[in-house]
A and B are shown apart, each in its own frame.
Chain A
């Protein structure tokens, strides 16, 4: 008796507008990401990518519609519950300066475990050992891990951020332009690394970028302007 795994992300008839704004900036009729699926989401800047990710992360709430992540309806949860859910189930990688500058690389990787007991509980052994294991898989030298994050190169910082997103095997990894600060050779390598690790841990990956060259790594592409009806209406950008 196998219970089908819930879909990683389901957006239904979502309308979002910033407080005080009359015109919504995001209107998505449907967006679904299956469990274990990797999706390449692209669109020009200003097309609402950050807003979409904040909705999926449960930091923002839509005016209408429903956001369900890994089977949990975020729109029905209070902010406190959404914060806890995000900590437990979603790993984030951002564009640049992803790390808390005054923590060591190792402490940065373990940071989600401090906010999410469930994530710490999914680790066999100590979080520090798991962090070292992930770092090794992402080609981070052990000697780098004790250094303050601010002393690492940009490429190293992004790999630390990836390890941090992956620790404790969250069901969904959200990567927001994670390669735009890297040079071209490293970009391809980083995307492969991230895809490989997500596949290994069984996580879904929502990869956001405006760089179409990276799309080749992904089986499924979604163009945000195509699904965001708010951008089509009114002629405003």
Chain B
């Protein structure tokens, strides 16, 4: 088949523009397929890595998924809070090892403000039981101390000592700002690849303090409590949004869950983060499969284009095939010539597609992480991605047979007769 390989190379070089366009079309299709798969896998990994070491998440009664999404992933808002009495009761349960309360509802320039206790920085784990680490400074101590996540610090240029103002509500642009009570950044967290990076942490007391002169989401008219006065008030939290709970033994998880769910004073929900994420995959799985199916169709369209281009060229190449036959080329040589051409174009498309994905992950990764909290790595292909690429190559091989078989039939029918 060596003479055919030589002819294939020359033939492809001769039809440069058409070949380049076809390669690009296949490459874009392959890049889309692999890109969707990588986004899917990395998004999943990102979600699964966000929380570990927490046995239960407790909040006001709602859907388990909703509770997990707003408390841990900062997606959506809580519908209700749970009272401090309930928090203390749960914390006092004999099986409960630790409890970290979380109070949400305020924001700082689009980033969520999380009211919590210092134990958050000790107890929160992500990925493979990794702790949060301080890049600079330390945990909050005073009422108006704040700790910022890595992304917040980087985007807004904050460092230890910066002064920040917290806004009421979760919007990026808020008119209701707690500008009479500014905070001082005392700590900057190292990057973790979790929603923590995009959060501002203050104490529960701080959340109480900035809302002292507020009622029903607006400032109380005529009431203005200066920042230096707030320490005279009782800043003990009355209610929080959710609580992360760690147990002494994982065996007790269902017992404690039942204890919370049947709490008589107010309707509560306790969820297992891992099991609830499984529920999320169940819902997202349909969308993921739809995306992959669309990508697969795009690849088929790309390959159909490849077949169309090579087959269309056959019409004008019947003469060439007849010449080759006269020179002693067998029909199998003609078959090989056309199959090789399609295959070379298809494989080149696959290679370029992989390069596009890697380039895209490398260039677009930081942006995705900054704006969507999605950590997309420019890593080497995963097993699934290899399998997909293999599937595309098999499809390319099958596609290359179409023009090749046609040329084979032409060469049998035409022989050396040169048809114009």
Contacts and interface: CB of A to CB of B under 8 A. Distances in A.
B326 A57 contact: yes
B6 A114 contact: yes
Interface residues of B, number: 25
B10 A102 contact: yes
Interface stretch (A27-35, A83-91, A181-189): A83-91
Contact of B415 (A59, A94, A99, A112): A59
B11 A102 contact: yes
B153 to A, nearest CB: 60
A206 to B, nearest CB: 13
A87 B328 contact: yes
Interface string A49-79: 0100110010110000000000000000001
Contact of A94 (B2, B14, B15, B326): B326
A54 B413 CA distance: 11
B333 interface: yes
Contact of A53 (B13, B320, B325, B416): B416
A100 interface: yes
A155 to B, nearest CB: 18
A102 B13 contact: yes
Nearest to A148: B14
B413 to A, nearest CB: 9
Contacts of B13: 102
Nearest to B414: A59
B327 A115 contact: yes
Contacts, number: 72
A112 B325 CA distance: 10
Interface in B372-420: 415-418
Contacts of A50: 416-417
B326 A114 contact: no
A156 interface: no
Nearest to A60: B415
B320 A115 contact: no
A80 B333 CA distance: 11
B3 interface: yes
Interface string A91-125: 01011111111110001000110111000000000
Most buried by B among A54, A99, A116: A54
B323 A98 contact: yes
A92 B417 contact: no
A99 B323 CA distance: 7
A92 B326 contact: yes
6 contacts: A60-B415, A80-B330, A83-B328, A83-B329, A102-B10, A164-B327
Interface of B: 2-3, 6-7, 10-11, 13-15, 319-320, 323-331, 333, 415-418
